[in-house]
Structure formats: structure tokens, C-alpha cells
A and B are shown apart, each in its own frame.
Chain A
Amino acid sequence: MSDIAIKVENLSKAYQLGDFGTGSLSSDLERWWALTRGKEDPFLKIGEINDRVTKGTSDVVWSLKDISFEINEGDAVGIIGRNGAGKSTLLKILSRVTSPTTGNIKIKGRIASLLEVGTGFHPELTGRENIFLNGAILGMRKAEIKKHFDAIVDFSGVERYVDTPVKRYSSGMYVRLAFAVAAHLESEILIIDEVLAVGDAEFQKKCLGKIGEVSKGEGRTVLFVSHNMGAVIKTCSSAMVLNNGCICTVGDVNEGIKVYNQIQTVNKSTSYCNNNPGKVFRQITIQDEHNIIKSEFGYDEKIDLCIKFDIKQDFLNGNVGIKVLDIMDRCVFTSEKKISEIAKTVGGAGVLVSIPPNLLTPGGYKVTFAVHIPNIVLIELINDIIYFDVLETGSEFYLFSGADLGCVFVNCDWKLL
């Protein structure tokens, strides 16, 4: 077994919500008075878990609650979780930007964190001056920067502009230079937070390659936070899933991504239910092939829509259909079935509609359900209720996060002429 590089024990972090003003002074005084008498901090007793969607009763939330884990030397760990799961808080504590409320962390080796590229870049200074300044801010000695200077300039690909103030740089060049400095840090542990959301695809690939090289080639420990599951799969060997400030799982990266996908999103409905006898649709759920109701699917997962409805005499010759729209309300496709092919008589019926895997590109979608007699009458329409997300879990386009790739993957035939 390899040595432990980072050991985290019972780590918690509480944040105070709301505005700081006259009111918070009195609670500060109260806390101070309790602490000087050696009592427990009254501020922390009332903390709640951090669920951004439900409105809490207290002003204090635990962004991280009592987490413990160990990371071995040379591991590349992806930290994943929804927004507000505590990922950034964890990285901030690890990189000593803020301190934990309770618990402790033990670290072996030098730690360098990259929570943002180009921290401390001064627009008036030249690329050369900024390489030195930024390197020093990230913890390099001047001699180290000198040693790596040529490699940094080479990696960034901005040789020609190195003596030009960075305010004249294009944003792409700026990011290239900034990442190049960070990529040459000589530390045993590297912490990276979603910095790859910038730069063009070629450069993103270069960055990911560098991260992989750092962890696999040089045997350094890497912690990598990203929403881009494709990037996580490609660069990390294991994953840690955070949800509401707690660790859901630590382990194999594929396993981790599965767990992440199963975490329910509360603000998007995955089911519809109506018992009014005048209505047609009774129950609709969206689920995976294991019948687990959820709203987030990997791009290579099958998406099942389970529809239960009452068939009535007046539309026995009608159709039941679904329409999938993307977040910009573009219709992606429509699928229909003749009711006469499902049932011959009136009464309750159920159908399972499967959207094939590897079809929809990563993004948000919603489904519209309808029963109608084509070109004659619309019997019932269910709109804006069922939503789901397709996640980037390592498709061939994972490097183009944010770009509009259209809504479907098409496996075209490419032939050499």
C-alpha cells in the first residue's frame, strides 16, 4: 500500500448566511461571550445541512459536515457533486484559503492549488513579468521559475507576445499563459478547480493531457473538481462524490459517476400523477433501465418513460405521443403510437417508451406528452412537467463543454476518398 498524502479527519465547515450588519454584531457578541466562558459556540449548535433548495430556519449552514477520507500518494481523484455540494469549500480548506470550523487535515508534501487561472496577473505588466509574479504567488521560488521559464513560454505558445503587457492579450492567450505557469509548479500535490472551462478545445486537451501526465507520469497526487464527467473519467483513477456536504462515496471513478447520476435533483420533476377521472394521463415517470426514477442520465444510458393512462371510447382511433425538446425549446424529435395498437378496449393501459442510448447530446431536456386524433382534435397535453438531463460521461465530445453540438449524436459514415 502506498503512503497517505492527505488525511482528512472529521472536517466541517459552517457558513453564516445573510447580510452582515447591525444585527450580526449582537450575535457575534453573544458568541464571543459564550466562548470566553468556555461554553460551546451557540452559533454552531443550530446549524443545518446545506440544501440550497429548501428554505431553512437558521442562518447557519454546514457546507461540509464531518467528512473524513484519505488520499494516497500518486492518486488522481475527481471530486464531483452538484452545485453547492461542498466541493469548492473542500478545495478552499485544502488550499488554506479558509480554515475549517472543526476537524483537521494532515498533508505530506508541498501543496499547490489552482482554484483560478491567472490569480494575481497584473494587466499592465508584460507576460514575462507576470510569469514571475504569478509563479511566486503560487509558491515558486524565483530560481525555480527561471529554470522552467522556457518550458512555460513554450507550453503556452505565446512566445511572440511575452514582452507585451497582458492587457493586450486575447482572453485565450491570457488563459494559456496562466495555465502554463501553474502546470509547471513543483509540488507533490496539485489541486485543480474547474479551470478547464476556458480556452479552446485544443488547449483544453493540452491541459487535460498535462494533468494526466502530472498524475500518471510524475506520480504526483491530483485533486480535480469538475462538472465535466468526461474530463474526470479521462484524467482520474478514482472519484469522490459529495452531496449536501457529506461524502456519498469514494472509490472507482466509473462507480462514482454512477452514484453522482443517481443523486436526485429536487427541483426537476421526474413524475406526474393525476387521479381526476376527467383526465387521460394518470401517471408518468422517467426512469432508467433498472426502474429507478431519476432525472440525470449518462449519454450512454437508456431513458425510459413509463406512461399510465385511461383509454376512452372517443379516442380509440387516436394516437399517444411524446415530444422531446431541449432547453431552448427546440423540438428534438417526436414519437407516436396508435392507441389501437396498444389496447382494443377502453380502460387503464400502460406503455414504456424507451429513448435509445447514445442519441441525445449532453444537456437539459423536457418531455411533452399528448393524446390526440391527428389533424382533428387534441385531447390532452402534458407540458413543462417532466425534465431530465443528459450528462457528459465521456463521449467523444467531452472536450467541447459549453459548445452547441446540436441535440443528437449521429454516427456518420466517414470514408477515405
Chain B
Amino acid sequence: MIIESPRQHWDLEIKPQSGVFDLHLKDVWDYRDLLWLLVRRDFVSFYKQTILGPLWFFIQPIFTTIIFTFIFGHLAKISTNGSPAPLFYMAGTVAWNYFADSLTKVSTVFKDNANIFGKVYFPRLIMPVSIVFSSLVKFGVQFLLFVILLFYYFFQHDGVQPNWYILLFPVVIFLMAVLGLGLGLIITALTTKYRDLAFIVAFGMQLMMYATPVIYPLSAAPAKYRGIIELNPMSGLIETFRYGFLGAGQFYPGAFIYSIAASIIIFLLGLVIFNKVEKNFVDTV
């Protein structure tokens, strides 16, 4: 019989269950080097063995903008609040893509990394967070393209009036990251055992884009659908982003505050659910 000395100190204790808010955030901080290496890996491996390299990041928004301008601008003639159509669509696409990319990739993080998660421990949260940062790099490159286009139209005096709301840009990006991450964490946690929900994500993102003022301004939405669109936390973010840079349309303080609250609540919820699932997902994935 060994009598445990009271001074005995343990560095780590492995238990079946842990508290709901025991999030191991200190662990995540300790592994921050891994986070940067993973972001670097994603970026470098993206353009390895290509000639155009990171320029490929430009291709998608350019073509999407051209097609949207043609279909929604020229054929459907949807209002852009007086902004130049290509700029309006590019603003929406670039911002939306950041959110959509983050969410889609995070939502399969358990499934995609089952092999590595099954072999080695590191704070699982590192993986989804690295995805959001990788998407941010891609967003940064695409955003450059948007800024170039913005300058072009600005010097043409073509109805582009950036205003002080541009200062909210970092906040908007941060909230989009947090919202995408939060929703992604919830979906990936719920799909480890039952994959049903994963099928919804692919086409759900398409549908959600149309429920967000990406290709139309919120002011052009029919009154009876306004409520639904305003319930979408992305609406306030996209509108604020576009208003700051283009100066067309208006700032909706209510929608923006709602977006902040919703993003943070969803993020915290995602964190807690993810944390609960991560310990045993290896057995069920």
C-alpha cells in the first residue's frame, strides 16, 4: 500500500470527463508555433508545382465577379445602390468567400484529420484555427485585388465614396472569422458520429449566400423577406463591409450589433461542443 505524499505534484491528469468550460486554452497558446507552421503548410502546398503560384487565388474572384456582373447586373438588373457593378459584386464575393471557405473547411476538420488526430495529441482547436488563418491569407490576397479595383473606380469618380465606417473593417473580418469558425466547429462536432449533417453543408452554403446580401443590397430585398435576411448574422457584416468601402447604401447599427452578439454566442457554443467531442471522437469517426 503506497501512501501518497501530499507534496506529490502531477503535471497532467487524464480523466474520463472534464468540465464544460475546461477549454485548455493555455495548451493552445503553448502550441502557437504549430499554428503558424500549419498555416504556412497550407499556403505553400497550395501553389507548389504551379507556374502562377499564389496568383491562382485571383482567378476565382475575377471570374465570379464577371459572371455575377453579367447575370445579376446585366440580365436580372438587380440594384447595386448606385455602386459600379463589378466593385459591388467583388466586395460581396471576396468577403463571403472568406466566411464560406472557413466554415466549409472547419466543418470537416475531424473527418479530414482523423488519421493525424488518431496518432498524436495536440490541442485539437489548433487545426480549425489554422484553417481560419489559412483562409485569411487567401482573403488577404483577394482583398488586394479588390483594393486595386476600388482605386480604379475611385479615380474614375464613379460613385465610390469610402467613409469612416471603413475603420470597422478589421472588426468585420474578425467577426466573420469567429462566426465561420463557430458554425464550423458545431457542424464538425455533430458530424463525427452521424455524418448526415455534412451533406447539408455543401448546398447549404449556396442557399445561405442567397439569404445574405451578397449579390443584392439589403435595401433592395422585398419587405416580407427582410426579416429572414436580417436574422442572418452575415447580413450585417457584409453590409457594413461594403458600406465602408463603397459608401453606397447605408449602415444598419441594429443589424451590426445583432451580428456581433450572434457571432460571439455561436463561437462560444461551438467551442464548448467541440471541446466535448474532441476527447473521444477518435473512437467514433
Interface residues as binary, B109-132 with A (CB distance below 8 Å gives 1, 0 otherwise): 000000111111110000000000
Of B2, B15, B31, B45, which is within 8 A of A122 by CB? B45
Residue of A96, A102, A107, A120 with most chain B CB atoms under a 10 A cut-off:
A120
Contact across chains for A100 and B14 when beta carbons are under 8 A apart? yes
Contact across chains for B13 and A124 when beta carbons are under 8 A apart? no
Interface residues of B in 71-117 (CB under 8 A from A): 115-117
Q: Does B33 contact A (CB under 8 A)?
A: yes
Contact across chains for B11 and A108 when beta carbons are under 8 A apart? yes
Q: Does A417 contact B (CB under 8 A)?
A: no
Contact across chains for B120 and A105 when beta carbons are under 8 A apart? no
Interface residues as binary, B9-47 with A (CB distance below 8 Å gives 1, 0 otherwise): 111111110000000000000010110011011001100
Q: A99-B280, A136-B33 are in contact. Are A111 and B120 (CB under 8 A)?
A: no
Q: Does A25 contact B (CB under 8 A)?
A: yes
Interface residues as binary, A12-32 with B (CB distance below 8 Å gives 1, 0 otherwise): 000110001000110010000
Count of residues in B whose CB is under 8 Å from the partner chain? 36
Contact across chains for A98 and B279 when beta carbons are under 8 A apart? yes
Contact across chains for A108 and B9 when beta carbons are under 8 A apart? yes
Q: Does A283 contact B (CB under 8 A)?
A: no
- Bound together, the chains give a CA A115 to CA B118 distance in angstroms of 9
Interface residues as binary, A235-252 with B (CB distance below 8 Å gives 1, 0 otherwise): 000000000000000000
Count of A-B contacts judged by CB separation below 8 Å: 110
Contact across chains for B283 and A100 when beta carbons are under 8 A apart? no
Query: 25 interchain pairs (CB within 8 A)?
Result: A4-B8, A16-B284, A20-B193, A70-B2, A95-B120, A95-B121, A96-B121, A97-B120, A98-B280, A99-B14, A99-B279, A100-B14, A102-B16, A106-B13, A107-B12, A107-B14, A116-B119, A119-B115, A119-B119, A125-B41, A129-B40, A129-B41, A133-B34, A136-B31, A137-B116
Q: Does A52 contact B (CB under 8 A)?
A: no
Q: Which B residues form the contact surface with A (CB < 8 A)?
A: 2, 8-16, 31, 33-34, 37-38, 40-41, 44-45, 48-49, 115-122, 193-194, 279-280, 282-284
Interface residues as binary, A142-156 with B (CB distance below 8 Å gives 1, 0 otherwise): 100000000000000
Q: Which A residues form the contact surface with B (CB < 8 A)?
A: 4, 7, 15-16, 20, 24-25, 28, 70, 92-111, 113, 115-116, 119-120, 122, 124-125, 129, 132-133, 136-139, 141-142, 165
- Bound together, the chains give a CA A165 to CA B10 distance in angstroms of 41
- Bound together, the chains give a CA A125 to CA B44 distance in angstroms of 8
Contact across chains for A138 and B120 when beta carbons are under 8 A apart? yes
Contact across chains for A97 and B282 when beta carbons are under 8 A apart? yes
Q: A97-B282, A98-B279 are in contact. Are A106 and B48 (CB under 8 A)?
A: no
Q: Which chain A residues border B41 with CB–CB below 8 Å?
A: 122, 125, 129, 133
A165: nearest residue on chain B (CB-CB)? Answer: B48
Q: Which chain A residues border B117 with CB–CB below 8 Å?
A: 97
Residue of A99, A101, A138 with most chain B CB atoms under a 10 A cut-off:
A99
Of B14, B48, B193, which is within 8 A of A96 by CB? B14
Q: A124-B45, A125-B44 are in contact. Are A97 and B118 (CB under 8 A)?
A: yes
Q: A102-B16, A104-B15, A124-B45 are in contact. Are A20 and B120 (CB under 8 A)?
A: no
Contact across chains for A141 and B33 when beta carbons are under 8 A apart? yes
